[in-house]
Structure 1
Amino acid sequence: MAGVQRAEEQATRNGIQALEMAYSGVQSRRQDVENTKHGMTAALQGSDGLSFQRLLDSWDEHAEIISKNLKDMIDQLNETLRSQGLAQGSSNEAINQAYSQSQSVFDNLMGSTENK
């Protein structure tokens, strides 16, 4: 039974690690899109610029949902480990910091669309 429990623990930890990597990748791509958006805003004017901005805003809204779902799954797997009396599987502080940063990027995007 202990071997099965250790295997389940390791599988949970592997799941957490995979989700953290996915979360980090999404956040990195969101930052790339934000940088591209700022670079392109000055270059594109008129309806094509507005359409491009809407496309990027829409993409970021979807990426925010994905980020939140990934974070929720990470939290749920960490809670699974805690409820089994095991050590925490990931650094919640690092996750929360990345999530906060992503929310800030999203808020900035939403503020920039309201001003236009």
Structure 2
Amino acid sequence: MSADFLNSTVEYTTRANAMLNPIIPKSGLLLMGEKGIEFRSEKGPGFIQIPWTSVENIFVQMLFGGRYVRGFTIATDEGQLFEFVVNDAKDTLKYMRKYLERDVFQASKSNISKVLGQFKK
């Protein structure tokens, strides 16, 4: 059984991994359009639909002083967190700015930064 699409037209598409499980990521496509963000799994059932109006924050995982963006975590108004690792994350975030205010985007410390921070103390 497949769910209906959230958007009537898809304006932006990119390959992504949804980190629904900390051990095994789910590969698929991240689709964006006028109504929100959708993730469709490549293998088997599975999809995520997030309307633009439900997005509260996007935590951007930046490395090397912001020169490399690994992915992002979307926080919804229902308290859900969805983490995505995207090949072209910078372009994806630029597209999201078309529908979301600048203050929604926040830098998130990467796991590497957290570990290295322990040694600097």
TM-score interval (norm. to shorter): under 0.3
Q: Which is strand-richer, 1 or 2? A: 2
Give TM-score scaled by structure 2 length: 0.27
Q: Name whichever structure is richer in helix by fraction.
A: 1
The higher relative CO (CA closer than 8 Å, separation ≥ 6) is in 1
